[in-house]
Amino acid sequence: MRLTDLTHDEIEALFTLTVPAPLAGLGMGGEAKGALLKLAAELPAARSAVERDVRNRIYLDPNEWNSSREVLPILPVLRQAVWENRWARVTFLRARRVPVERDIAPHGLVAKGTAWYIVWRSRNGMMRVDRVASALAATILDEGFERTEGFDLEGFWTAWAQAFEESRAYLPVKARASTDALAQLEYSLGHHIDQVHEKDADEVFREISLTFGTFAQARGLLLAHGNAVKVLEPMAVRLSIADFAEQTLNVHRR
């Protein structure tokens, strides 16, 4: 296709793109930027100004304010193994921080937000998924492998992610929240809030229903809001928050 066939709107959309953080972490950021620069250089003179105009009007910053960037020194190694269809020997960190060595046939890499996952097949033919951050070491073996016939990375990941979500443990929490702090709570707790109920009789507090993935997550996020939130149930979360608050108070008063 000739670049002259691109419409004005298509050129605008093209140069709105920025290199996402996961792609940069994969070691392909330089190549992606270079490709866009070459495209810009080959545009007809009448349309090359579009690139400059777009760059000065729209910028996509892929870095979230509160996201934690994982350090993944072996990601390029796994990328090479994926491209070359070669077995790799990887040491994963499992439960209770026990290292386990596995031979894997890496079929694909998936970026979930800023987190990378490796989709691989074991020696016995089972398909598995692991977070790249859990891999301590990786070595590419000389042995190659045949990709599973008909394997569809997007379809496999979608089905696996849905099954993973459905299998996760969820912790329902009921609490009373200050109406003055409700806007901040909805901003910071976001998708954890299932429902905001009607105002209490004194109109100072409103009952809210929340869902968390773990006990520790519920305690940490709710504790951060101090007296703006009072946990009603489960009692274990309420008592744990009180205990952590008391410990914090004792440490900082000394």
Residue 186 is part of a domain; what is its CATH number? 3.30.70
Per-residue model confidence (pLDDT) at position 20 = 66
246 and 183 within one domain: yes
Is position 35 within any domain? yes
Q: What DSSP string describes 17-49?
A: ----HHHHHTT-HHHHHHHHHHHHHHS-HHHHH
CATH code of 111's domain: 2.30.30
Is position 60 within any domain? no
Phi and psi at 142, nearest 5°, equal -70, -25
Distance CA 175, CA 207 (A): 6
Last residue of a domain, one of 167, 194, 224: 167
Last residue of a domain, one of 167, 188, 215: 167
- Containing domain of residue 156, as a range? 75-167
Number of structural domains in the chain: 3
Lowest average pLDDT, out of 10-14, 78-82, 225-229, 230-234, goes to: 10-14
Per-residue model confidence (pLDDT) at position 25 = 66
Report pTM. Answer: 0.61
Is position 67 within any domain? no
139 and 85 within one domain: yes
